[in-house]
């Protein structure tokens, strides 16, 4: 019963929306909101018409990608501890999960998370040069953790979407032909 594709199709959409709601709750909780606000935010994320309709029409991976990014944002706002790098590793793992679920959408979201890590770090008090190095370091930790987590998916994406794609050779004649096709109108 569990391995049935029909059961999977019936369960994946509601579970992805539940995952999205939990991720929204985690983000709001890590930002320090009261439990009622976290609950209302979770419900709003789970029943957001874009995520809900995509899940119902067979694209629940969009909801899980957004949920992964919300978990990444929540991880960045966890209270400081003795081991601050753990929250950046957790953020990277969440970003990696977003890449695995959403491929191109997850990759675009990962750029936003990278910019947000830099923004958060540069917004701290201290010397600008030191903050810049720190931002680069934390961004690298997030990127490496995401790459490790999503290594198999990234390998598949590179071999199927980047290398060896039919009709995408890089010789001069092919470039000229694609330029003419792209600019003819």
pLDDT over threshold 80, residue 113: yes
pLDDT over 80 (residue 65): yes
pLDDT band, residue 26 (cuts 50/70/90): very high
Q: Is the pLDDT of residue 167 over 80?
A: no
DSSP letter string over 103-147?
THHHHHHHHHHHHHHHHHHHTSSS-HHHHHHHHHHHHHHHHHHHH
Evaluate if residue 168 carries a pLDDT over 70. no
Characterize 41-78 residue by residue with b for buried, 16 or more Cβ atoms within 10 angstroms of its Cβ, and e for exposed.
Answer: bbeebbebeebbebbeeebbbbbbbbbbbbbbbbbbbe
Report the candidate in 36, 33, 37, 24 with the shortest Cα–Cα distance to residue 64. Answer: 24
In angstroms, the CA 129 to CA 21 distance is 39
Rounded to 10°, the helix 5-30/35-46 angle is 140
Residue 5 CA to residue 19 CA, distance in Å, equals 20
CB-based contact 109:102 (threshold 8 Å): yes
Q: Is the pLDDT of residue 1 over 70?
A: no
Given a contact cutoff of 8 angstroms between Cβ atoms, the answer to whether 135 and 118 are in contact is yes
Cβ-contact 91, 118 below 8 angstroms: no
Structure confidence at residue 162 (pLDDT) = 66
Cβ within 8 Å of residue 95, ≥6 positions away = 68, 69, 72, 106, 109, 110, 113, 142, 145, 146, 149
Q: How far is CA 141 from CA 13, 82, 117, 184, in A?
A: 32, 17, 10, 45
Q: 81 pLDDT exceeds 70?
A: yes
Side-chain-side CA neighbours of 134 within 13 Å: the count stands at 15
Q: Round to whole Å and give the CA distance between 176 and 178.
A: 6
């Amino acid at each position: 019963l569990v391995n049935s594709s029909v059961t999977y199709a019936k369960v994946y959409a509601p579970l992805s929306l539940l995952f999205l709601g939990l991720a929204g709750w985690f983000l709001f909780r890590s930002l320090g909101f009261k439990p009622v606000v976290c609950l209302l935010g979770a419900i709003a994320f789970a029943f957001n018409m874009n995520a809900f309709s995509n899940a119902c029409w067979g694209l629940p991976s969009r909801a899980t990608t957004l949920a992964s990014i919300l978990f990444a944002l929540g991880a960045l706002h966890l209270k400081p501890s003795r081991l601050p790098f753990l929250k950046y590793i957790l953020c990277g793992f969440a970003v990696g999960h977003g890449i695995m679920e959403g491929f191109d959408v997850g990759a675009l979201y990962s750029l936003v998370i990278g910019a947000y890590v830099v923004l958060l770090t540069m917004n701290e008090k201290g010397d600008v040069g030191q903050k810049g190095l720190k931002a680069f370091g934390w961004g690298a930790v997030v990127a490496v953790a995401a790459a490790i987590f999503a290594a198999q998916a990234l390998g598949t994406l590179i071999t199927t979407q980047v290398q060896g794609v039919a009709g995408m050779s890089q010789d001069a004649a092919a470039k000229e032909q694609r330029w003419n096709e792209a600019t003819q109108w």
